[in-house]
């Protein structure tokens, strides 16, 4: 905190100070799990703030929503927006009709709820969900932040307990967010969220959202255990990503802020799920509905992830999705992941994946393209030409057709 | 490779404010750029020579992003347009400098790459280093470059600053090394405005060793 005199205050510094205050808040709070039955909504339909501080907060956040609503990074795929709205209607509790959801094309596992009741989901989150229950679980968790008025509670708690300096920093962050720090760069929304720090909740508030989210999920007939599974998937992905780059797990995601140790959080979620599961009741994870809903964008979601060349994370995601069955699309992207990783022997690994991918009826035309190219690289020219011919047959107007045609002459 | 746009602008802004008392108004500070002469100049590691039709601004090598085989120019500033020269990039080397611990990495170049693999490497560079959210290949076609069998790659991308940019790369692999000239500019106005310069540069490009 020595660098305060400088005019340039990094977001990380803000984050650190907010985090310190939050940690102070959490001190003395036992890590006891919150019983889901105790989590009642604190707001009803049509809630509007009546007190000055909350009104001010709303006013500033409404400007952020205006920017997001007009962003050209929003995904406008047919049916997807309706589908998400429908899910929020299901698990959004009493204020379901007041909530808005925006899906932005950012290949990250992230979602955030803003104080006025709108939530932003990153497309990378949709990629990672195995079924509707998992997605509904995240929506329910985010809804719970709104229903339990977490932003204003955290804000007031901080003002009460922290030293004056920390409050000043927070006000600076808030003022900045309202007055144009947000520049329309949605990929940095997560950082904006941390500037607000209100989105970085204390351990208690996260535990509240977990408990209430799980209850909202179970009430709608989804298996509540799926929330713990989502969390496990996140941990597994971060671990494998870090392992591939030979370093410890470090990435911080505001989806489930990191105050409670991830492992203990998952344990609590499992206990909550057991408590909520009614013996004999049939739960539906809605996998078929989910796959149908995201079908128009699934290849795009995979493409956006794989081309980032984060091989550990990608491999984990693909293997997780493949637990429900391999198909041509997943095999193709498995091959792409090896090809981009580009270590010794990866070209052969990729070639094998492409060869398997094209045996599936749902193999995308690109699978034939890369299958052909890898065969040619291996010196298997006649087979390679046949595969590339197949690719051009499937996609005669492919943008690279002139180049591929020249390769198979 | 000029892919760290935001970092660059931040640095340029610091440069500007530092010398604002001098009147400035020239846009980007000369601390980071030098004007290119309008005659044949060697670029990158000197393995290629080009002749610009008018002066461009050569970016100095002071960013961590830079590697010796890559040189960047701009006319109106790197957020609006940029030219990248890749000269004799050898096997197992990278277009950008990166840490082995970075989660997301631009794939390294390999001499054995097919051209579609090279263009895929460029796409990943835009996604990993320039924050491209959407990336579309517009065309990939054969095109001679410096007397060798080469390619022309056209593409456009939407970046996280919500601006659509458009690019063209013309290149070839010669003796296992990658040679490339790339134009990347805001799709409206700046791309069409600088394309003629790009084409003149490509036509003038000569292999030096």
Mutate to test the interface with A, among B103, B105, B131, B167 (most CBs of A within 10 A): B103
Region A368-372: what's the mean pLDDT? 98
Maximum C-alpha span of chain A: 75
In DSSP terms, which residues pair with B153 in a beta bridge?
Answer: B140, B169
- Is any Cβ of chain B less than 8 angstroms from the Cβ of A71? yes
The two tokens of residue B120 are 């895929």
The span from the CA of A227 to the CA of B159, in Å, is 32
In DSSP terms, which residues pair with B82 in a beta bridge?
Answer: B184
**Span of A110-114, A258-262, B135-139, B145-149 with lowest mean pLDDT:** A258-262
A7 burial level (CB within 10 Å; 0-12, 13-18, 19+):
exposed
Per CB-CB distance under 8 Å, the chain A contacts of B110 are: 342
Contacts 24+ apart (CB under 8 A), A295-300: A296/A77, A296/A78, A296/A79, A296/A80, A297/A75, A297/A77, A297/A80, A297/A123, A297/A126, A298/A127, A298/A329, A299/A329, A299/A364, A300/A123
**Tokens 């997560």 sit on residue:** A190
The span from the CA of A349 to the CA of A335, in Å, is 7
Contact (Cβ atoms closer than 8 angstroms) between residue A231 and residue A217: no
- Is any Cβ of chain B less than 8 angstroms from the Cβ of A53? no
Predicted confidence (pLDDT) per residue in A264-321, tens digit: 888 899 999 999 999 999 999 999 999 999 999 999 999 999 999 999 999 999 999 9
Predicted confidence (pLDDT) per residue in B48-102, tens digit: 999 999 999 998 876 555 689 999 999 999 999 999 999 999 999 999 988 888 8
Mutate to test the interface with B, among A400, A405, A408 (most CBs of B within 10 A): A400
Length of chain A: 409
- The model's confidence at residue B20, banded by pLDDT at 50, 70 and 90, is very low
**∠ at Cα B176 (B172, B178), nearest 5°?**
40
Distance from CA of B54 to the nearest CA of A (A): 32
What confidence score (pLDDT) does residue A188 get?
A: 53
Does residue A2 have a pLDDT over 80?
Answer: no
- The model's confidence at residue A20, banded by pLDDT at 50, 70 and 90, is very low
DSSP string, A67-119: HHHT-TTB---TTHHHHHHHHHHHHSGGGGGG-EEEEE---SS-EEE-TTSEE
Does residue A249 have a pLDDT over 80?
Answer: no
Predicted confidence (pLDDT) per residue in A93-141, tens digit: 999 999 999 999 989 888 888 889 999 999 999 999 999 999 999 999 9
Does residue B183 have a pLDDT over 50?
Answer: yes
Contact check, Cβ <8 Å, A184/B162 = yes
Does residue A91 have a pLDDT over 60?
Answer: yes
The span from the CA of A350 to the CA of A361, in Å, is 19
**Tokens 């990939």 sit on residue:** B140
Does residue A409 have a pLDDT over 70?
Answer: yes
What count of CB pairs under 8 Å joins A to B?
96
A110 to A193, A323, A333: CA distances (angstroms): 11, 22, 22
The two tokens of residue B81 are 């347009």
A118-122 and A100-104 beta bridge pairing: parallel
The span from the CA of B161 to the CA of B133, in Å, is 9
Per CB-CB distance under 8 Å, the chain A contacts of B127 are: 304, 307-308
The two tokens of residue A236 are 């597994």
* Nearest by Cα to A89 from A145, A135, A140, A147: A140
In DSSP terms, which residues pair with A112 in a beta bridge?
Answer: A120
- Nearest 10 degrees: CA dihedral of B28, B32, B38, B43? -140
Reduced to 3 states, what is the DSSP secondary structure of residue A323? coil
Mutate to test the interface with A, among B17, B94, B144, B162 (most CBs of A within 10 A): B162
Higher-pLDDT residue of A69, B17 = A69
- Is any Cβ of chain B less than 8 angstroms from the Cβ of A281? no
Higher-pLDDT residue of A248, A222 = A222
- The model's confidence at residue A4, banded by pLDDT at 50, 70 and 90, is very low
Maximum C-alpha span of chain B: 53
Residues 6+ positions from B63 with CB-CB distance below 8 Å:
B4, B7, B8, B11
Residues 6+ positions from A335 with CB-CB distance below 8 Å:
A349, A350, A351, A352, A353, A354, A357, A367, A370
**Tokens 């998992």 sit on residue:** A134
Mutate to test the interface with B, among A344, A370, A399 (most CBs of B within 10 A): A399
Per CB-CB distance under 8 Å, the chain A contacts of B119 are: 400
Q: What are phi and psi of B49, to 5 degrees?
A: -120, 140
Per CB-CB distance under 8 Å, the chain A contacts of B140 are: 399-400, 402-403
Per CB-CB distance under 8 Å, the chain A contacts of B112 are: 377
What confidence score (pLDDT) does residue A56 get?
A: 84
Contact check, Cβ <8 Å, A73/B110 = no
Does residue B46 have a pLDDT over 50?
Answer: yes
B91 to A340, B44, B111, B177: CA distances (angstroms): 15, 16, 5, 7
Contact check, Cβ <8 Å, A377/B103 = no
> What is the percent of chain A with per-residue pLDDT over 90, rounded to a whole number?
57
Predicted confidence (pLDDT) per residue in A149-173, tens digit: 888 887 777 766 654 444 444 444 4
Sign of CA dihedral A342, A346, A349, A355: positive
Name the helix (H) or strand (E) containing B140: strand B132-142
B132-142 and B81-89 beta bridge pairing: unpaired
Does residue B152 have a pLDDT over 60?
Answer: yes
Higher-pLDDT residue of A141, A78 = A141
Nearest chain A residue to B164, by CA: A72
Nearest chain B residue to A312, by CA: B103
- Is any Cβ of chain B less than 8 angstroms from the Cβ of A246? yes
- Is any Cβ of chain B less than 8 angstroms from the Cβ of A349? no
Contact (Cβ atoms closer than 8 angstroms) between residue A189 and residue A120: yes
Predicted confidence (pLDDT) per residue in A196-246, tens digit: 544 567 778 888 999 999 999 999 999 999 999 998 898 888 888 888 887
The span from the CA of A240 to the CA of A52, in Å, is 47
Predicted confidence (pLDDT) per residue in A30-50, tens digit: 457 898 988 999 999 999 999
Does residue A174 have a pLDDT over 50?
Answer: no
In DSSP terms, which residues pair with B186 in a beta bridge?
Answer: B165
CA B139 to chain centre: 18
């Amino acid at each position: 905190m020595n660098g305060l005199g400088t005019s340039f205050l990094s977001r990380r510094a803000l984050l650190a100070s907010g985090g310190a205050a939050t940690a102070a808040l959490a001190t003395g709070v036992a890590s006891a799990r919150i019983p889901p039955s105790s989590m009642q909504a604190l707001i009803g339909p049509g809630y509007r703030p009546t007190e000055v501080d909350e009104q001010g907060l709303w006013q500033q956040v409404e400007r952020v929503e205006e920017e997001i609503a007009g962003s050209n990074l929003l995904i406008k795929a047919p049916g997807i927006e309706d589908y998400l709205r429908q899910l929020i209607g299901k698990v959004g509790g009493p204020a379901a009709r007041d909530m808005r959801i925006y899906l932005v094309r950012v290949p990250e596992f992230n979602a955030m709820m803003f104080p006025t009741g709108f939530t932003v989901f990153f497309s990378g989150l949709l990629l990672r969900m195995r079924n509707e229950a998992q997605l509904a679980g995240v929506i329910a968790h985010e809804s719970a932040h709104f229903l339990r008025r977490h932003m204003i509670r955290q804000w007031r708690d901080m003002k009460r307990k922290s030293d004056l300096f920390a409050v000043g920093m927070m006000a600076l962050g808030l003022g900045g967010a309202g007055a144009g720090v947000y520049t329309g760069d949605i990929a940095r929304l997560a950082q904006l969220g941390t500037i607000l720090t209100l989105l970085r909740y204390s351990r208690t508030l996260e535990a509240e959202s977990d408990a209430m989210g799980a209850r909202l999920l179970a009430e709608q007939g989804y298996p509540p255990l799926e929330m713990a599974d989502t969390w496990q998937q996140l941990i597994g992905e971060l671990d494998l990503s870090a392992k591939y780059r030979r370093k410890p797990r470090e990435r911080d995601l505001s989806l489930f802020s990191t105050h409670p140790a991830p492992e203990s959080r998952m344990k609590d979620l499992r206990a909550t799920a057991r408590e909520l599961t009614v013996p004999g009741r049939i739960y539906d994870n809605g996998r078929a509905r989910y796959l149908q809903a995201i079908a128009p964008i699934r290849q795009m979601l995979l493409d956006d992830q794989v081309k980032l060349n984060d091989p550990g994370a990608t491999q984990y995601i693909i293997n997780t999705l493949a637990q429900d069955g391999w198909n041509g699309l997943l095999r193709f992207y498995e091959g792409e992941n090896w090809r981009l990783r580009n270590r010794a022997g990866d070209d052969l690994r990729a070639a094998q994946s492409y060869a398997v991918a094209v045996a599936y009826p749902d193999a995308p035309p690109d699978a034939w393209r890369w299958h052909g190219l890898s065969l040619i690289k291996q010196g298997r020219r006649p087979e390679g030409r046949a595969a590339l011919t197949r690719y051009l047959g499937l996609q005669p107007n492919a943008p690279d057709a002139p180049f591929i045609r020249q390769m198979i002459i | 490779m000029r892919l760290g746009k935001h970092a660059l602008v931040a640095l340029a802004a610091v440069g500007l404010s530092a010398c604002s008392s001098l009147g400035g108004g020239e846009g980007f500070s000369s601390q980071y750029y030098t004007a290119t002469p309008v005659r044949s100049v060697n670029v990158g590691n000197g393995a290629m020579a080009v002749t610009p039709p008018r002066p461009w601004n050569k970016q100095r090598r002071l960013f961590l992003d830079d590697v010796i085989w890559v040189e960047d120019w701009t006319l109106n500033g790197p957020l609006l347009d940029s030219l990248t020269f890749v000269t004799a990039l050898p096997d197992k080397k990278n277009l950008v400098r990166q840490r082995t611990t970075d989660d997301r990495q631009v794939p390294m170049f390999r001499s054995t790459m097919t051209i579609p693999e090279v263009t895929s490497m460029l796409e990943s560079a835009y996604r990993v280093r320039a924050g491209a959210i959407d990336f579309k290949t517009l065309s990939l076609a054969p095109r001679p470059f410096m007397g060798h069998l080469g390619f022309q790659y056209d593409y456009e991308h939407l970046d996280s600053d919500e601006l659509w940019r458009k690019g063209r790369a013309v290149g070839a692999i010669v003796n296992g090394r990658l040679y490339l000239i790339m134009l990347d500019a805001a799709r409206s106005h700046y791309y069409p405005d600088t394309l003629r310069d790009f084409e003149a540069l490509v036509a003038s490009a000569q292999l030096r060793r």
